[in-house]
């Protein structure tokens, strides 16, 4: 879910995420408050929801979207990319966006990392290996 000025970078980031093997849909909501019920319906079909905004990540539109998804009973991880709650470095708008990770490259990198974690968590782990060792993506080799 890309909000406002972040839509164009989110569209570029979607190509990065897609080239990593993930299916991506970028949604630009018509409004941010109240959260459009169509977003919760889209979230039902997703394995991960990421919001991108150039406002504060904590308490911003992304956090409200995640809350609305949870209140609708949709059990999907939601992550937010926005400005951190700390004093930014001084510079141009581009400098501050880069500092906050709000560039196409920064957005794409974080989404790929989060998607990989979701994939990893979804992998079944077998504990019935014939050699008695645990098998699966979290198993260690000796």
User: 98-128: per-residue pLDDT in tens?
Assistant: 988 999 999 999 999 999 998 876 655 444 4
Distances (CA, A) of 89 to 5, 103, 106: 20, 15, 17
List the structure tokens of 97: 């966006």
Residue 127, pLDDT score? 42
Rounded distance between C-alpha atoms, residue 129 and residue 10, angstroms: 43
Q: Does residue 136 fall inside a structural domain?
A: no
Q: Which residues of the chain have pLDDT under 50?
A: 125-142
pTM of the model: 0.79
Question: What SS3 class is residue 131?
Answer: coil
Tell me, what's the pLDDT at 56? 81
Does residue 25 lie in a domain region?
Answer: yes
Residue at 84 is within a domain:
yes
Residue at 127 is within a domain: no
Q: Specify if 8 maps to a domain.
A: yes
Supply the range of the domain harboring residue 93: 4-122
Instruction: Tally the domains of the chain.
Output: 1
Beta-carbon count within 10 A of 86 CB: 8
CA–CA dist 13, 124 (Å, integer) = 29
Is residue 54 included in any domain, yes or no? Answer: yes
CATH of the domain at 80: 3.40.50.920
Q: Indicate whether 131 belongs to any domain.
A: no
Cβ–Cβ < 8 Å for 135, 142: no
Measure CA 13 to chain center: 11
Q: Tell me if 132 is assigned to some domain.
A: no
């Amino acid at each position: 879910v890309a909000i406002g000025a972040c839509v164009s970078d989110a569209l570029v980031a979607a190509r990065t995420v897609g080239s990593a093997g993930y299916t991506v849909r970028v949604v630009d909501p018509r409004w941010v408050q109240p959260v459009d019920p169509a977003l919760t319906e889209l979230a039902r079909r997703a394995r991960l929801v990421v919001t991108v905004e150039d406002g504060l990540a904590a308490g911003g539109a992304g956090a409200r979207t995640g809350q609305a998804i949870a209140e609708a009973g949709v059990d999907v991880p939601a992550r937010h990319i926005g400005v951190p709650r700390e004093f930014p470095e001084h510079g141009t708008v581009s400098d501050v966006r880069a500092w906050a990770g709000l560039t196409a490259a920064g957005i794409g990198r974080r989404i790929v990392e989060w998607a990989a974690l979701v994939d990893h968590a979804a992998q079944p782990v077998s504990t019935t290996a014939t050699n008695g060792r645990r098998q699966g993506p979290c198993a260690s080799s000796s």
